[in-house]
């Protein structure tokens, strides 16, 4: 049985929960990042679509504007400290503040055997766009998040694999685990300044997952069969809504946590 998700049209209904706030969403040119960007913008946030290539980021920013929201694209390479700093500086210059940093961008994740893993091919990109990028985005955003008077939010996209390991992409798991450990540490370190740090572990119909479905026709059915809610998540209405909660005042007393948003497939926390 497959239960329909709330449609993207419903999710696009405008609200004001983030009115006057500014968010950067990395990797927002597609998939989960795009869904989060659209959802935050629909609640009134100025959203910076931080994408590696303007060809993917600009259409998302345009979609935000077409819905009546405030969105701009800034080309950003999250593996580069300088590029992330420039993105944050441009954001501040444009909007006068930054209250929400969402690090979602990720590159890599090629299936491999651990014994044969080559660090250049199977590790570098994941380490740089995952863990190093948490360093870059967190450091660049922190002064602004601290200035947000208790509304500073650092949200990191991780994975259930960061808890339970992975038989298919074994080096993906330590990268995602490291992100969770950093989030817990920063929750304790930054809590006194009123900045919260949380993770989302999504399973959603991102382009990567859709491509995997096309490569392996039985995969979607297998995932849905083991998922209590019987479907794969929608990037905007399912994952974006959890990001909205973490970005909003509703989550003011939540920090250091990981919300697994996968329809109940993983129950290990």
Partner 1 sequence: MVIEGTGVLADALRIAAVEVECATTVVVADVVTTATPFETLTDEDFDAAWEQPMRHAISAFQRAHRAGHARLIAVVPTIGMSGAPNLAHAAATAEAIRVMVKSAARQWGADGMTVNCIALAPELFGIDPAAVGDVSLAPPALAGRTTVVDDVVPLVRMVASADAHHLTGATLTADGGVWMTA
Q: Is 183 near partner 1 (CB under 8 A)?
A: yes
Per-residue interface string for the shown chain with partner 1, residues 190-209, x marking contact by CB under 8 A:
x-------------------
70 binds partner 1 (CB under 8 A): no
Q: Residue 40 or 195: which CB sits closer to partner 1?
A: 195
Told to judge if 58 belongs to the known catalytic residues of this protein, a careful annotator would answer: no
180 touches partner 1 (CB under 8 A): yes
DSSP characters for 54-120?
HHHHHHHHHHHHHTT-EEEEEE--TT-HHHHHHHHHHHHHHHS---EEEE----------GGG--II
Q: Pinpoint the alpha helices (H) of 191-249.
A: 207-215, 219-225, 241-247
> Closest approach of Cβ 74 to partner 1, in Å?
22
Q: Could you count the other beta carbons within 10 Å of the beta carbon of residue 34?
A: 27
Contact segment (CB under 8 A) with partner 1 among 2-10, 26-34, 89-97, 167-175 equals 167-175
* 117 near partner 1, judged by CB under 8 A: yes
Q: What is the largest CA-CA distance in the chain?
A: 51
For residue 22, give the H/E element and its range.
strand 22-26
- Residue 254 touching partner 1 (CB under 8 A): no
- Please measure the distance between the N-terminal and C-terminal CA atoms of the chain and give it in whole angstroms: 26
Annotated catalytic residue within 106, 132, 172, 190? 172
Q: Which is nearer to partner 1, 48 or 182 (CB)?
A: 182
Least separation in angstroms between residue 2's CB and partner 1 is 28
Bridge pairing between strands 70-75 and 100-103? unpaired
Active site residues: 172
Residues that bind partner 1 (CB under 8 A): 81, 113-115, 117, 119, 123, 127, 131-132, 135, 138-139, 142, 162-167, 170-171, 173-190, 256
């Amino acid at each position: 049985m497959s239960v329909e998700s709330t449609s993207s049209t419903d999710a696009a209904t405008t609200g004001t929960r983030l009115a006057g706030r500014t968010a950067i969403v990395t990797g927002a040119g597609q998939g989960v990042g795009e869904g989060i960007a659209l959802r935050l913008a629909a609640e009134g946030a100025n959203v910076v679509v931080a994408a590696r290539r303007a060809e993917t980021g600009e259409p998302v920013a345009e979609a935000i504007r077409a819905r009546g929201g405030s969105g701009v694209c800034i080309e950003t390479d999250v593996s580069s400290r300088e590029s992330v700093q420039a993105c944050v500086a441009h954001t501040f210059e444009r909007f006068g503040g930054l209250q929400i940093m969402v690090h979602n961008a990720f590159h890599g994740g090629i299936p491999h055997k651990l014994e044969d893993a080559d660090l250049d091919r199977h590790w570098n990109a994941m380490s740089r766009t995952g863990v190093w990028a948490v360093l870059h985005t967190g450091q660049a955003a922190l002064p602004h998040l601290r200035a947000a008077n208790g509304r500073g939010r650092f949200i990191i996209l991780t994975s259930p694999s960061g808890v339970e390991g992975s038989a298919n992409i074994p080096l993906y798991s330590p990268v995602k685990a490291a992100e969770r450990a950093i989030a817990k540490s920063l929750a304790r370190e930054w809590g006194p300044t009123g900045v919260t740090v949380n993770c989302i572990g999504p399973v959603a119909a991102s382009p990567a997952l859709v491509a995997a479905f096309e490569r392996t026709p039985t995969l979607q059915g297998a995932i849905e069969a083991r998922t209590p809610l019987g479907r794969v998540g929608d990037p905007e209405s399912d994952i974006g809504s959890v990001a909205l909660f973490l970005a909003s005042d509703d989550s003011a007393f939540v920090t250091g946590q990981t919300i697994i948003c996968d329809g109940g497939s993983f129950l290990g926390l």
